[in-house]
Amino acid sequence: MINFAIATTLNSLQMMFLLSAVPPVLDPEMVANLERLGQQLHAFGQILSPYLGIICVAVAWLTVFAAIGNAIVGLTEAAHRMRTMHQIPCSRCAFFTNDHRLKCSVDPIVAGSEAAINCPHYEPSRDTYQSRNSENII
Ligand code: SF4
């Protein structure tokens, strides 16, 4: 198989030279190096072949564990981010305007950001999303 790959590569190189109008003469030293590389790869394949099944199974399981680990890390980060976003009090604050041009009349720079989590100007509003919805229901 490796010999086939090398033969294919050599054929491709020859075709490239033919197509580019360069005389189709390959450097004999390069050909010898490629053949040597092919022999080394073949020997390496012979050494690895008894363990190939184990290696493939190990790589497959490692891939599965890596995917599961990435999913867990992603979900944990998303949960942490969501918890942090829910700590921002601006949407429940009396000074929050809900207008992107001026989010807050007291501290518009930090309004709606994580910097507003412990805002000293926070004033609970009665016009919250919950109260608005409960009025609509009634
Ligand atoms: S006063 Fe503070 S908590 Fe209220 S909207 Fe402005 S930044 Fe947010």
Tokens 């290696």 appear where?
Answer: 55
Q: How many CB atoms lie within 10 A of CB 111?
A: 22
Query: How many Cα atoms within 13 Å fall on the side-chain side of residue 49?
Result: 7
Q: How confident is the model at residue 138 (pLDDT cuts 50, 70, 90)?
A: very low
Q: How confident is the model at residue 76 (pLDDT cuts 50, 70, 90)?
A: very high
Which of 90, 110, 126, 127 to probe ligand 1 with, by most ligand atoms within 8 A of CB? 90
State if residue 13 touches ligand 1 by the CB under 6 angstroms criterion: no
Whether the per-residue pLDDT at 102 is higher than 60: the answer is yes
**Does the pTM exceed 0.75?**
no
- pLDDT tens-place string over residues 107-123: 999 999 999 999 999 99
* 44/25 Cα distance (integer angstroms): 30
- pLDDT tens-place string over residues 40-54: 999 998 998 889 899
Contact 127, 133 (CB under 8 A): no
